[in-house]
A and B are shown apart, each in its own frame.
Chain A
Amino acid sequence: MDDRTQRILDIVVNSFLPLLKAGVEFTVPLALISFALGLVVALLAALARLSGNRVLSGIARFYVWIIRGTPLLVQLFIIFYGLPSIGLTLGAFPSAVIGFTLSVGAYGSEIIRAAIQSIARGQWEAAYSVGMTYSQALRRIVIPQATRVAVPPLANSFISLIKDTSLAAAITMTELFRVAQQITATTYEPLVLYSEAAVIYLIFSTVLSWVQGWLENRFSRHVAK
């Protein structure tokens, strides 16, 4: 084995743990927390859009318009580098969580809105006619059925989110990609390290697709297709 091969092998072996650690400690929690919070925002925005209240639905529409119409990287820069100039200084992790939450909220709200609208009006009316209120009908009849419709597209957006977290490197967060950059800076082997990072992202998203498949199966039980 020549020297260069040996050196690259050493770099791969030595960097694997730090990269995986960054992924498990920062990338995954960042994605999970942002996604969970984002779903709450998405549901609220979807309900606001469907509420029939002009003010609420106007606010939701405006929010989705802004987030979908501007780059996520630019949003992260505004939150992390921009807000301090009006006295609002946030760490890298909270900034990233806010940015990704808003993003999941906006795209997710469209998914959830479509899913709720896909549930026949008769299901609502049947719930009302046996004495349920709006929120009971929503919680017990509409959301469970809409979930089945929304799971596949929401799972897709979670996989996108895992990959998008690499943008947080640009606001100094030491997640997977930034650690890869840092090791590259000392080893001068960008091809090796960025490929290694890519493989770890691939592992994460592959595991997620399995989970997605399992969830879809679970939610489509007992529903005639």
Chain B
Amino acid sequence: MQIEVRNLKKDFGQFAAVQNVSFDIEPGKLIGLLGPSGGGKTTILRMLAGLEKPTSGEILFHGKNVNHLPPQERGIGFVFQNYALFKHMNVFDNIAFGLTVQKKTKREIQERVYEMIELIGLKGLAERYPHQLSGGQRQRVAFARALAPSPELLLLDEPFAAIDAKVRKELRTWLREMISRVGVTSIFVTHDQEEAVEVADEIMIINSGRLEQKGTPWQVYKEPQTPFVASFLGESNILPDTASITGFEAATFRLRDKSRAKTANILIRPESIEVGREHEISNPAAASIGLVKSVQFRGTLWQVEVEVGHHRLLAHRTLEKETLKPGDEVAVLIHSLHLFHEDESLFLENEIKRASSAAI
């Protein structure tokens, strides 16, 4: 289903839970709504479902305004955070429930339900009641119940939040496959970035009731448009200025509003920092001098904390290279960084490195 949202707002009393959110979703896409708890993700999802009335703004399905349609008439399926299975019905009846209002024969309903039970891998458990199922199984039933009436839009609110970490990973992969097989446009809410990056075609980052950025996981990670997105996704170093960072001395002059450059935010990903002995560094001329403050083993790499001027930076170093020790003097080459100022965001590469590679 083609979805458009225009200036969506929701106030709870004085509190603005969702503010001026606009986006488009192409049919068949799987979208992840990602952001910290309390940011308004559930509220957005519930407004799309018709379970919550927007304070203002428009929701369009297939170009038609659905603001005044009740949930039953929106052609949606909803998977609730706590599953909300019907406790007094067995698996079969739970899944069949939405089909019984559609004009279908008993036989068609039965076929569809068994098809769904097969799809969710719960063959043989049709007679079980919700309290006789594990968390993961309940989640699958909730998924089948939502999907059985063939909705045009599937909405999932933190579908894996209540499931333990190991099963969650499995379910994630399973859901991804299931949705692409069925081909239904889907939006799922999560506060777990790994989950969003792994599952979604596109991510929308929601914070304090606002849509911070929408894009593919890679785009959002590589080209964050706000300091919030940059710091929320992945690890990052946030600095107030670029003083003593070789190759970026003039970075803030690239901003449109040079006079206010002092209030800019600088973000550097640990993987954009090369740290090591001078001879190990790919371009020593473009590197600053730093002092190792601490070194931590992080499973597949070393995390090195290094002091450059008055900045403290976290950098990564592969395990193959010689181990650094606190107190070592090292070269610190910063390949790139992000610069944010008000609504402007810049991705900058080390200028000395660029100049020297251009010269070759």
Interface residues, chain A, with chain B CB atoms under 8 Å away: 120, 122-123, 125-133, 136, 140-141, 144-145, 148, 222-224
Contact = CB atoms under 8 A, between A and B. Distances in A.
B129 A222 contact: yes
Given A125-B78, A132-B101, A145 B87 contact: yes
A131 B149 contact: yes
A82 B148 CA distance: 60
B243 interface: no
Given A125-B80, A222-B129, A130 B98 contact: yes
List the 6 closest A-B pairs by CB distance, nearest first. Answer: A130-B98, A224-B131, A122-B84, A129-B78, A126-B84, A128-B71
A129 B51 contact: yes
A83 to B, nearest CB: 44
Given A128-B72, A129-B76, 4 more contacts: A125-B84, A131-B149, A145-B88, A223-B131
A141 B86 contact: yes
9 contacts: A123-B84, A125-B51, A126-B145, A130-B77, A131-B101, A131-B102, A136-B101, A145-B87, A222-B88
B302 interface: no
Given A122-B80, A131-B101, A224-B130, A144 B71 contact: no
B295 to A, nearest CB: 49
Interface in B190-212: none
Contacts of A127: 86, 97
B145 A130 contact: yes
Interface in B61-82: 70-72, 76-78, 80, 82
B88 A131 contact: no
Contacts of B80: 122, 125-126
Contacts of B77: 129-130
Nearest to B46: A125
Nearest to B77: A129
Contact of B72 (A133, A140, A148, A224): A133
Interface in B121-150: 129-131, 145-146, 148-149
A2 to B, nearest CB: 63
Contact of A128 (B51, B82, B88, B145): B51
A222 B101 contact: no
Nearest to B98: A130
A129 B85 CA distance: 12
B292 interface: no
B87 A222 contact: yes
Contacts of A222: 87-88, 90, 129, 131
B275 interface: no
Residue picked from A126, A129, A130, A224, most chain B C-beta under 10 Å: A130
Contact of A130 (B70, B97, B131): B97
Interface string B317-330: 00000000000000
B18 to A, nearest CB: 18
Given A122-B80, A125-B80, A130 B146 contact: yes
A201 B107 CA distance: 52
A219 to B, nearest CB: 9
Nearest to A145: B88
Contact of B87 (A130, A132, A140, A223): A223
